[in-house]
Structure 1
Amino acid sequence: MSLALTGGLRPAPAQAGPAELALATKFACMSCHSQTQKLVGPSFDAIAAKYGGDNPKAVDALVTVIQKGSSGVWGPVPMPANPQVSEADARTLATWILSQK
């Protein structure tokens, strides 16, 4: 289990390797997302279902969302920008999220 910034325990992503879990923990992704359930933001499974599959531009699009944020895609709560996440780290996270099936 990973400790979220909110102080609560949330289950770690089932398919996360050490590098992905370390990044998700470092950047507090699990404060708003979980593997299977919508929290503040959509689940990783829902993101993968919507953008994964045969969409070759999905990783690049998700890297942009992770770094620059977005609004209105999953409802009224915006995804905040995370400029502290490097492109390489955002790409690792995006690739992992979109690999969920």
Structure 2
Amino acid sequence: MKSSVIALAALATAALLPTVSFAQGAAELAQKKNCMACHSIDKKVVGPAYKDVAAKYGKDKDAVKKLSEKVIKGGSGAWGPVPMPANTQVSEAEATELVKWILTLK
């Protein structure tokens, strides 16, 4: 019985590892690319909270593509008068990873 409980706990932990690893990697990428200078996960800083972005775009099937482009090229108007500057230091793959992570933060 004890070994069954340990085995189930190990399986549950293993199932979570890819998610934890993905989330940790994306959060580290957000720090490295200076995204967190203007954004926070749960409160507005200069730009919107990532949870607010996830709530607004979570059901949009084109959100990853649209938001990835906005991360790289910048934009304005969606969240008020302060424009988001272009982030040319962020690659397409990095932008996609960041956006996919942000959309999980509901």
Short-chain TM bin: 0.7 to 0.9
> Equivalents in 2 of 1:22, 1:100: separation in Å?
15
Select which of 72, 78, 86 maps to 2:77.
Answer: 72
In the alignment, structure 1 segments of 5+ residues that lack a partner are 1-14
RMSD of aligned Cα (Å): 1.4
Scaled by the length of structure 2, the TM-score of the pair is 0.76
1:41 equivalent in alignment to 2:60: no
Scaled by the length of structure 1, the TM-score of the pair is 0.80
> What is the aligned residue count?
86
> Equivalents in 2 of 1:36, 1:22: separation in Å?
16
- Letter in structure 2 aligned against 1:81: A
**How many angstroms does 1:17 deviate by?**
2.4
Q: Whose radius of gyration is greater, 1 or 2?
A: 2
> Equivalents in 2 of 1:36, 1:25: separation in Å?
15
- Letter in structure 1 aligned against 2:32: K
